[in-house]
């Protein structure tokens, strides 16, 4: 599913993740890898631990929280909730740096509520394994993008 930068905020993105998981029969609680200026961010809202982060295909993204947030991931996140590779759209809304903190650019489409072409949002690129998976150059908020969803 794609969104403009007007996702509706981090809570709405979390709900979108839950809805996407439910629609395909995935159990558990899900959160969006998305940060805003109000302090809603993966570094404080995600479960940290030693459990691996694995795509629905079974391919491991990171061995544990510290591995996920060390600047690189083991494999690019190229599988969606259905276990299929999305179309070629490479942009993923994040607003988040590799450590799970808000992006230094501060670009978050005004709290993920604005789809204006003159406002920017921090993105990642879904086929990257370096810092670009979450911290690529910002793009205009009127562009379509995906969100990363992580089971908690």
- Return all residues near 72 (Cβ < 8 A) that are at least 6 apart: 98, 129, 130, 131
pLDDT digits (tens, 9 = 90+) for 120-146: 999 999 999 999 999 999 999 999 999
- pLDDT digit string (tens) for 52-87? 999 999 999 999 999 999 999 999 999 999 998 887
Domains annotated for the chain, with CATH where assigned, are: 10-151 (3.10.100.10)
Tokens 């911290």: give the residue: 135
Among residues 147, 126, 101, 111, which one has the least CA distance to residue 6?
A: 111
Average pLDDT over residues 7-18: 98
Tell me, what DSSP letter sits at residue 121? E
pLDDT at 36 over 90: yes
First to last CA, the chain: 20
How many whole angstroms separate alpha carbon 123 and alpha carbon 106? Answer: 11
Spatial distance between the Cα atoms of 111 and 16, rounded to a whole number of angstroms: 16
Tell me what percent of the residues of the chain surpass a pLDDT of 70.
Answer: 99
Q: Write down the pLDDT at residue 123.
A: 98
Whole-number mean pLDDT of the chain?
A: 95
Which pLDDT belongs to residue 86?
80
């Amino acid at each position: 599913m794609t969104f403009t930068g007007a996702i509706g905020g981090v809570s709405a993105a979390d709900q979108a993740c839950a809805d996407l998981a439910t629609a395909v029969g995935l159990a558990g609680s899900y959160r969006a890898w998305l940060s805003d200026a109000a302090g809603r961010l993966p570094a404080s809202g995600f479960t940290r631990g030693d459990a691996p982060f694995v795509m629905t295909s079974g391919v491991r993204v990171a061995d544990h929280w510290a591995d996920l947030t060390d600047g690189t991931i083991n494999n690019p996140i190229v599988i969606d909730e259905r276990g299929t590779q999305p179309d070629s759209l490479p942009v993923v809304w994040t607003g988040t740096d590799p450590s799970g903190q808000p992006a230094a650019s501060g670009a978050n489409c005004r709290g993920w509520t604005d789809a204006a072409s003159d406002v920017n949002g921090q993105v990642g690129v879904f086929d990257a394994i370096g810092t670009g998976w979450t911290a690529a150059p910002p793009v205009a908020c009127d562009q379509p993008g995906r969100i990363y969803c992580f089971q908690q």
